[in-house]
Every structure is written in C-alpha cells, then in structure tokens.
Structure 1
C-alpha cells in the first residue's frame, strides 16, 4: 500500500498555541496538519514559519460553516455571496500555506431545516460552490466537499450525494472528504463499499473517527477493512484524525474542556495501530 500521510484537524486539540499543536503532532508521528480556515484572524506568516520549523506539511485548509453568512445554500443572495467570498479566501490561504486543497461543507452545519426546499437549496449550493471551484481551478487548487451525517447538515450526507454535487458543479477539480464516523451513520452498504464505489476519482481525503467518535481503535469499527478499501482504490490523499473525545462538542473543545495530554496519548496508540494494519496489507 502506498504511504499515506497522517494529520489532525487543528481545532481538535482546543485552544492551545499553534506551536504546541505542532509539537504534539510531531510527537504523535503525524506528517502534517489540516489548518483552520480563518484567514482573517490567524497569523498566517507565523503559522507557515512554525510548519517550516517542525517539518510538518499543510495538508489542507478547512473552512468552518456553522454560521449563516457562510451558507452556500442560503435563500438570501447576499449571504451566498458572503459564502462565496469566504470560499475564495480559503483558496488564497491554501496558496500561501502551500497546500493544494480546501474543504467546504455544502450547507450550514447544525441547520437541519431548508431555507426553501431541498432542490432549491441544493441548486443554490451548486451554483455558489461552482464559483469558488472556478476560482480554485485558476489557482490549481482542489475543492473537497465534506459528506456529513443527516443529524448535522441537510444536503450532502453520503458519498453518493457528494458525487452527485461534484458532478453537477462540473469544474473537474471538485471531490470529496469522506469521514468514517459520518459514513458509519449514512452508508447503507458499509464504509468499505462506499469507499470503493466513490473511488479514487472522487475521494480526495479521509477523516478518521471511530463509531463513538473517539480516535480509531477506541470503538468497534473494522479498520483493516477500511484501509483495505483505501488500498483497493489506490488512494493518494491524506487521512486526518477528527475525533470528539469523551463525547465533547466542538464548542466544549474550543472552550478548553479537552485534556490534550489524554488525546495525544490515545492518538499515538491509534496511529501505531493503523500503521501496523497497513504493514500487514
């Protein structure tokens, strides 16, 4: 199996400094970081300097889509315009941080009702993301749509949903971020079959979380089967840990309720387990 780069989403450790995050990532044995997509508030010069000093890669830039002014599917044209401009800022951040991909969520996170109806909201999202993707294509950046379970978003749940939207956007540089936790809830034929069905053409990145949303190995998912499926599609992207330990919410993690030492220890054990699985394949 080809070497897979391991990373972690930078928000997962909570309100620690970027230097501390980078040091923990190196101790765990990660290759890089998924960067929090807040270019208006983050010191990008400092972030790039820390990555260079630690030898970590910028794996991707991950947008945050839990506010209405970043909703691609919004019924209000001005809100959609705000979302499009934010998406373009993520492209600019990716260029500066020397990564070739950004993550978008097609609809607002934690909004389960439609602005109009499913088809209208879907069309708004396609049109809005298409403009971001065209700008990204001009700059050789890939756009990754994250497939999130139906209890958190209202449009793109499964890999098939993501494939459909990527095809309708039609720019040729749009693929998917699949997430094992969300897939466990949404993929009726199982995670491995969904990976094989979507294939290398669409799956650009893989998030990792066990069935209980802990790090891999702390739940009951079949990780050998999942990584065999990634091998079977000749997966060339990266995989990123994105757990919510101890049933904490993202808001609680951001407020500092997570024990970063415990997470570091669990993630270190997890990456050793996953590397062992890949060595046996």
Structure 2
C-alpha cells in the first residue's frame, strides 16, 4: 500500500526550500494528523536537534510514522558534502549523515542524501569525485544496513548537481556500490526536468526506488502544475510500489492549503 507523508522543515536557513510546513513540530504534526497523512518527513539541523523520546510520544499520540529524515542541513549550515576535495570535510560529512541514519533508525526511517552528495568542483576530476561519492555511500549504506534501514540517494536536476541527474544513471551507480542497502529517491520535480518519460523511468528503475518525493511540474503541490498524475500512478502500480509519497513541494499558496491539496491529490490518484 502506498503511504502519504508531508514535509516539515525545522531549519531556518533553508526556509525558502520546498517544504510544506514551517511551524513548530508539534503544530505541524497535529495538522498532518488532522488531514489524514500517514507520516511526516522532516528536516532538522542535526541528529540531536530534536529529542527522539519526545518525537516518539508526539508521533504515537498523533498516530503518525516518520517516513524519512533529510540531511541537507549538513551542507547548508556546515558546508559538508561527500565529494568535497578535502578529505577531512568528507569525513565530517559521513559522520553527520551517520548520526542522522542512527536517529532515523530509532523510528525505522531512512536518511536521505540529496544536496550533501555535492558536485564535481570547478576544474575537478569527475571520475575521482564519483569515487568519493561511491566510498561515502558504501560506508553509509553498511551503517544503514546494520541498523535495519535503507539509505536513500536522490538524483537531482542539472541545476543542483553535476553528478547524477536521472534514475537510469542513479540505478547504474548504485549497482556499482559494495552495498545493496542504498535505494533511489524518485523526486517527481527533478524528474520533470531530466526524464523523457516519468512513468517509463519509474517502470524501468522500479526495483531501485525506495522513496518518492511528490510535487508537480512547477514544484507546487501535486495538482497545481501539468504533471500527468494518472500515468505516474499507473507506473507505481505496475512496479508494486509500497513506500511513501512524501510532499516535498513549495507551500503554495500557503502551508495549510498546500497540505490540503497534497492529501486531496494523494487520495484521488494514489490511495489504494
């Protein structure tokens, strides 16, 4: 069964990003529960920025799960990536993500690596950069495996990274790793830029997909753009996807209406 999730960001430095809720955690969780979401996906400054016991109680009280935890604050706040030419920064990036993996594992939730993958530096060597990325993902994938969760790797569009931009390349790269515990994040917004056919890419790479970010073509909530939602829903049915569709979209026209539109679209197109 496909499950719904909504994003909550608790990091002021990334407030211009595509997250539905920005208010305090308890208020956002309450709203998500009232609308009928199955889970939240949230972004925090670090693994110790939120008390896990308090979060457990809050989620249990609201009958919600934790779908995933983001790691983007590691780059935004601390400037850490897995492909920085400086080995000490790469080491710190692995440590930051490792802590997020351990935090998420308390809730059986995966950590997501998006912006922390980094880029090929100007004048840098692409092959070497991809080796650094592979080393980081392999190390972190093994940590995730030992904690009985997946690690989620997200191909980003060409304007956000010059590493891996589409699901085909992502699947090929993950297959080269010395771990099978890293899965792909299929972000429908990034795919709208990079894929020639969203449903066909989903079908072709379905076995590698472990998480999906739900947003329309303009990164507004699904239904406020021109994405062919029915075709995507059919593709997800074909691959027997049973994970989360997590709304990583701009809070347009405002967080409450964005959340309402998201759950409306989810119930219309994706609810089994």
Q: TM-score, length-normalised on structure 2?
A: 0.88
In structure 2, runs of 5+ residues without a counterpart are 10-18
Distance of 2:71 and 2:38 partners within structure 1: 21
Q: Does 1:31 align with 2:38?
A: yes
Q: Does 1:71 align with 2:81?
A: yes
Choose which of 91, 105, 109 in structure 2 pairs with 1:95.
105
SS of the equivalent of 1:19 reads helix
Mark the CA change 1:63 to 1:107 in structure 2 (over 3 Å): closer, same or farther: closer
Counterpart of 2:176? 168
Counterpart of 1:17? 24
* 1:1-281 equivalent positions in 2, closer than 5 A: 3-11=1-9, 12-37=19-44, 38-64=46-72, 65-67=74-76, 69-96=79-106, 98-105=107-114, 107-108=116-117, 113-114=121-122, 116-188=124-196, 190-199=197-206, 201-246=207-252, 262-278=254-270
Distance of 1:34 and 1:205 partners within structure 2: 11
Distance of 2:120 and 2:181 partners within structure 1: 28
Shift of 1:243: 0.6
Shift of 1:87: 1.6
Q: Could you report, residue by residue, the CA deviation over 1:164-192 in whole angstroms, capped at 9, with x for unpaired residues? A: 2211223111110111110000012x111
Contact conserved, 1:208 with 1:243, CA < 8 A, in 2? yes
Shift of 1:209: 0.8
What is the root-mean-square deviation in Å for CA atoms of aligned residues? 2.1
Shift of 1:90: 1.3
Shift of 1:268: 1.6
Number of aligned positions between the proteins: 260
Q: TM-score, length-normalised on structure 1?
A: 0.86
Shift of 1:218: 0.4
Contact conserved, 2:21 with 2:251, CA < 8 A, in 1? no
Q: Could you report, residue by residue, the CA deviation over 1:141-169 in whole angstroms, capped at 9, with x for unpaired residues? A: 21110111010112121101211221122
Distance of 1:126 and 1:156 partners within structure 2: 12
Shift of 1:69: 4.3
Shift of 1:140: 1.3
Q: Could you report, residue by residue, the CA deviation over 1:88-139 in whole angstroms, capped at 9, with x for unpaired residues? A: 101210122x224221127556x67457222111110101111111111111
SS of the equivalent of 1:221 reads coil
Mark the CA change 1:115 to 1:101 in structure 2 (over 3 Å): closer, same or farther: farther
Distance of 2:163 and 2:89 partners within structure 1: 17
Select between 219-228 and 262-271 the one with higher mean Cα deviation. Answer: 262-271
